[in-house]
Structure 1
Amino acid sequence: MDSCPRTESAPRNDARRSFLKTVLTTAAAAPVVLGATSTSLFAQSPDYLPTLYRGWNVRNFQDILSDENAHVEYLLNGLGTAARPKPTFKNLLQSHVLDFAMVSRALENTGVGAYLGALPLLAGTPYLSPAGSIALIEARHAGYLNTLLNLPITQNVKNQKEAFDLALTPEEVVALAGPFVVDLNGGPPLIPAGGLQSPIDVLNFALALEFLEAEFYNLNVPKFT
């Protein structure tokens, strides 16, 4: 991951392209600086990512993988028997390390916006502080990935650079992440008919997103590290 790893072919797909649409719009014009050379990000090999320190990207992606699995475990424990089952996902395995980094960046920035939008719904509950803590970790992941792709460190999933982060509505989150979901496997809808009204609704919504992120990293981090 810190140089030019060998990759296997995987089918490119509409769901991934749709999810990356806003990312690609801005990233296509962003330069990558490698030593004294500055060129377009997409002029680089799709099997290459820049690195600041030896082993830096490998360590960071392994940490992100660990964090996302820890988030799943926390939410499962907190929800107990009310926890949704793990959905079935599609189109998560990436062909190239650059694709992996771009989807990762989109997922993490989506997570930041999702938690920020949901936090007011947890006000006055014991879940507010843990959810805020998860949101901060997602933001640290997003900042690293923005930097890795030579984007502004605070740029959000809609490619806006702001001093105050963007809260996403549940509907916006589903529009971004929903195309990866094949089957909820008997679990509740991502957004219940009446909206996210109870802490259980909010936590199960967060759990679906954390399941998606964890599965994405569980598939791709071993491949690219």
Structure 2
Amino acid sequence: MTEDHQTEDETNGTPFDAAVQSVQDAVSSRRGFLAGSAAAGLGALTFGTSGVAAQQSNGNGDPKGNSDGKANENAVSDVDVLNYALTLEHLEDAFYQHNLKSLGGYYSLETIVTADMLDHLPYVAREPIYGHLTDIGEHEAAHVDTIVSVIEQLGGTPVEKAEYEFGTMKANNPSAFYKTAMALENTGVQAYLGALSLIDDPDLQTAAGTIATVEARHASYLNHLNGADPFPNAFDEPKSMDEVLEIASQFIV
């Protein structure tokens, strides 16, 4: 794989640009995400991905959703929520594998740490960045493995990895990589915040919370590398499944 030269203008207007710009807006000006067009059928992951939602109980033997025993047609099971999280983790995992040579991808250490956007930092401060980004990629891979294992233990079927387009192939100018990484990590934080209340099992809620805090650290670090405020707000804004999947769909072929 070669690092073919592309100018900044050659990637303008692609779907990933809209997603990246929406996150930059949210981080810098506290506006919400501006979602683009959704991939056909991706919204179906919001409900019914496991096929077991109807069997999920609210603890009283009634279908999850209503206390009067009537099933809520929009109720989601814990497996559904885990598959939703897995959809995002697949996306993040693929992104770092796609882009970092240390994980089998595109950009070398030298290309990443000599990016123009980091010129204000001395090289001794830039050199550890590649290792930190590799750590983040390995975290996302670990999240995928763990969520797949839990879904299978619960009797569900893990959602498969899709095909992705990140638009980050820019020789000696990996600013698109940094911007897209920031977009994905901030989306991950808001996704987990929005999903936590949908999980019934307290142990699974805690487990999801431990991933959410790590995603927040990732987001803060990527915000910093992009020159944005690492922690712009006193409170993070949760996003619904529909909102997050619409954002994620912009990276899915």
Tell me if TM exceeds 0.5: yes
Aligned to 1:170: 241
| Percent of residue pairs identical | 29
Choose the corresponding residue for 1:133, options 210, 217, 235.
210
Aligned to 1:83: 158
Deviation at 1:133, TM superposition (A): 0.6
Aligned to 1:9: 5
Question: Hey, what's the Cα distance between the residues in 1 that align with 2:28 and 2:4?
Answer: 23
**Mean Cα displacement is larger for which, 169-178 or 51-60?**
51-60
Deviation at 1:93, TM superposition (A): 4.1
Q: Can you give the 5+ residue segments of structure 1 that lack an aligned partner in the other structure?
A: 1-5, 30-45, 155-160, 183-225
Give the partner amino acid of 2:116.
Y
- Label 1:26 to 1:98 Cα distance change in 2 as closer, same or farther (>3 A): farther
- Label 1:151 to 1:8 Cα distance change in 2 as closer, same or farther (>3 A): same
Q: Which has the higher contact order (CA 8 A, sep 6+)?
A: 1
CA deviation string 1:42-62 (max 9, x = no partner): xxxx93242472522111101
Give the partner amino acid of 1:70.
A
- What RMSD, in angstroms, separates the aligned Cα atoms of the two structures? 2.7
Matches within 5 A, 1:1-225: 7-9=3-5, 12=11, 14-25=14-25, 47-50=115-118, 51=121, 53-80=125-152, 82-95=157-170, 96-154=173-231, 161-182=232-253
Question: Hey, what's the Cα distance between the residues in 2 that align with 1:7 and 1:142?
Answer: 26
Deviation at 1:137, TM superposition (A): 0.5
- Label 1:141 to 1:84 Cα distance change in 2 as closer, same or farther (>3 A): same
Which of the two has greater strand per residue? 1
Q: Can you give the 5+ residue segments of structure 2 that lack an aligned partner in the other structure?
A: 30-113
Question: Hey, what's the Cα distance between the residues in 1 that align with 2:18 and 2:130?
Answer: 27
Question: Hey, what's the Cα distance between the residues in 2 that align with 1:25 and 1:165?
Answer: 15
CA deviation string 1:52-76 (max 9, x = no partner): 7252211110111110110111111
- Give the TM-score taking structure 2 as reference length: 0.55
CA deviation string 1:129-158 (max 9, x = no partner): 11101101100001111111121112xxxx
